Amino acid sequence: MKVTLLSLSNKEEYMFLEPSFRGQRSGWIEVICGSMFSGKTEELIRRVKRARIANQKVLIFKPKKDVRYGEDAVVSHDDNSFESIPVETSREILDNISDANVIGIDEAQFFDADLPAVCQKLAIRGSRVIIAGLDMDFRGVPFGPMPNLLAVAEYITKVHAICPHCGNLATHSYRLSGETETVVLGEKDKYEPRCRVCYEMGNILDLKVR
């Protein structure tokens, strides 16, 4: 099934919606973004746990490729966890939402380009969609579908780590290892958060060494 953005000004696309969703108040999209070790997953878990306390039906999805903490849970760096459904593609989310009205998505940067359209479709159907992901990769470049998610979200929260070199707010994920691929799974053995200045200084020193 091809996922497209729905425009309610188009009668044909409006009729494509399930009858129970027509005329229903829409949901919304929340994005939690920042560097590694900034507490993105922690904040996602906090929000979905509060939703569950309020007796809302909650599901969290994660990319199947992220197996750092196991296959069926999202886990923060502080070891808080919440059960999750691993999926290969963003379209699989639509096949697994059941009757949940709060949808969490962790490590959104690893998903494919269809994720913003999927999230908008969920919001149109009335779901609250909470997304957590890295806004930039180790090169300081916008990561995967995150820029488009930020563009369509109603609510954006940017969280920060602390730069271990100067104590300022960290906005970048600095790669300590020598891999050049965009996606390299790892924790403190491969990455550390850095402020803008310390990130740039590290890149300059790396170029001199290499």
Residue of 107, 154, 181, 192 marked catalytic = 107
Of 187, 179, 163, give the one whose Cα is nearest residue 77: 187
Of 139, 89, 134, give the one whose Cα is nearest residue 114: 89
Backbone angle region of 143, left / alpha / beta, with phi > 0 → left and psi within -120 to 50 → alpha: beta
The DSSP letter of residue 80 is -
- For the CA atoms of the chain, what is the radius of gyration? 18
107 catalytic residue (yes or no): yes
Instruction: Report the half-sphere exposure of 184 (CA within 13 A, side-chain side).
Output: 18
Helical spans, DSSP H, in 39-112? 40-53, 91-94
Which residues participate in catalysis according to the annotation?
A: 107
